[in-house]
Amino acid sequence: MSAAIASHAASGVPFPAAALRAQFPALQRAGSFIFFDNAAGAQVPQRVLDAVNEHLLEHNVQRGGRYPQSIAVDATIRRARESVATFLNARRPEEIAFGMNATSFIRLVSLAIGQTLGQRNEIIVTDLDHEANIATWLVLERMGAKFLWWRIREDGCLHTQDLKPLLSSRTRLLACALASNALGSIVDVRAAADLVHAVGGEIFLDGVHYGPHGLTDVQALDCDYLVCSGYKIFAPHMGFLWGRYELLAQLPTFREDFIPDEPPGKIEAGTFIYENVAGMAAAVDYLAGVGRQLAGRAGSSEARDLREDTRSAMAAIRDYEQTLSLELLRLLRDCGAQIYGIREDAQLSGRVPTVCFNLPGIAPAAVTEAAAAAGIGIRDGHMYSPRLMRRLGLPVESGAVRVSLVHYNTPAELQRLGAVLQGLRER
């Protein structure tokens, strides 16, 4: 048993999975269907639906006006910015920018950095990342960027020892993920940030996949930029960018003449989806509510506790999800599956409950089709990480099978998946 799981068990407070599941209408409406494709997008709790509906019903207008509904939109955006800033432990709300998705923000920052390369023109990318955090940087080659690759080892992990030789006085930026959206491997980004900063470079983090699984603290990570997608963190489809204020202020970005050349306005080109931003704030509130429930303060809603409540929630979620990882890895081993990445129980702290695997002699698509027929949603393919698939020796066209869990999943659901996989092996 891992230290985290032992700590959770020793606390004597069981994780309230059933009570939390009851807050997700989609889980109730789906009946016996099981959502195991959460890396592609998680379900949303009722309070998020309420926030979206309230916006559309009460003040679905443009911000910046002098009438009550428009003033309410301004207040919604301001509150959402403050909530997300608190959730990430940002230094100030103006470091948060809202938009369509993480990919568009990566592209925005990459284009800006491409215009300011100078002597520091080396960018380090990895073969573990989602393609959005690779291709968006590689296109800067035409602007004079040079690229180096931080590559995974056979264990499916990035090791900081392999990063050190890539760094020099020419290093402008390292782009990497907090956790792999395919393998679930967690990257030691704080150690990477220390190394990059020591040579005068910057670090850009894709926090999309890690977001629902553990605490994201930009100050503790000592990163320079970070992107997330709200729809992976129990919110509607939207994305947000965090960056050090002084760096965002320096970025050359497109903006209309009437927009001040300062964050966050200079980052938020055009009108984003206000109702989804309202939903993101409600998702943070949901997580804070989980923390309050675990602390025995379920009826409290004190704003001053938001950071501590979300910290408590994410710690408990992290512990509970490790029990799910333990069970998932066990049933995959029992099925004779080839597991990619971390597979040993003793190394659970190095992953989130997202696992890619293949069953010997059975096409990935056949596995997901069998699961779908049994009322279980999982995914097959390259997981938007084709370079990683090639590194693993897998055809990009077929890739692997991925099961991705979050805190509303249960061991009982995993048992149903195990039965499907065993049935496939016994055919």
Q: For residues 33-39, give the mean pLDDT.
A: 98
CATH code of 353's domain: 3.90.1150.10
Q: For residues 51-60, give the mean pLDDT.
A: 98
Using CB atoms within 10 A of its CB, is residue 71 exposed (0-12), middle (13-18) or buried (19+)?
middle
**pLDDT at 291 > cutoff 90:** yes
Per-residue pLDDT at 332: 98
Whether residues 205 and 313 share a domain: the answer is no
Please say whether the beta carbons of 133 and 177 come within 8 A. Answer: yes
Total number of domains in the chain = 2
- Which of the four pLDDT bands, split at 50, 70 and 90, describes residue 36? very high
CATH code of 175's domain: 3.40.640.10
Please say whether the beta carbons of 372 and 424 come within 8 A. Answer: no
Q: What percent of the chain has pLDDT over 90?
A: 91
Whether residues 108 and 246 share a domain: the answer is yes
Instruction: Provide the pairing of β-strand 34-35 with 96-99.
Output: unpaired
Per-residue pLDDT at 282: 98
Give the DSSP H or E segment for 239. strand 239-243
Whether residues 122 and 234 share a domain: the answer is yes
User: What stretches of 43-166 adopt beta strand conformation (E)?
Assistant: 96-99, 122-126, 146-150
Whether residues 217 and 318 share a domain: the answer is no
Whether residues 118 and 30 share a domain: the answer is no
Instruction: Lay out the sheet containing 354-358: strands in order across.
Output: 338-340, 354-358, 400-404, 379-381
Whether residues 38 and 105 share a domain: the answer is no
Whether residues 85 and 193 share a domain: the answer is yes
Distance CA 365, CA 352 (A): 23
In a domain, 296, yes or no: no
In a domain, 258, yes or no: yes
**pLDDT at 390 > cutoff 50:** yes
**pLDDT at 223 > cutoff 70:** yes
Per-residue pLDDT at 269: 85
Q: Which domain holds residue 369?
A: 3-43+307-425
Whether residues 131 and 192 share a domain: the answer is yes
Q: For residues 38-57, give the mean pLDDT.
A: 98
Whether residues 268 and 361 share a domain: the answer is no
Q: Which amino acid is at 244?
A: R
**pLDDT at 5 > cutoff 90:** no
Per-residue pLDDT at 126: 98
Whether residues 39 and 56 share a domain: the answer is no
The position carrying tokens 């096409």 is 363
**pLDDT at 176 > cutoff 90:** yes
Bridge partners of 174? 124, 203
Per-residue pLDDT at 3: 41
Whether residues 38 and 57 share a domain: the answer is no
Q: For residues 301-308, give the mean pLDDT.
A: 72
Per-residue pLDDT at 299: 62
In a domain, 301, yes or no: no
Whether residues 33 and 58 share a domain: the answer is no
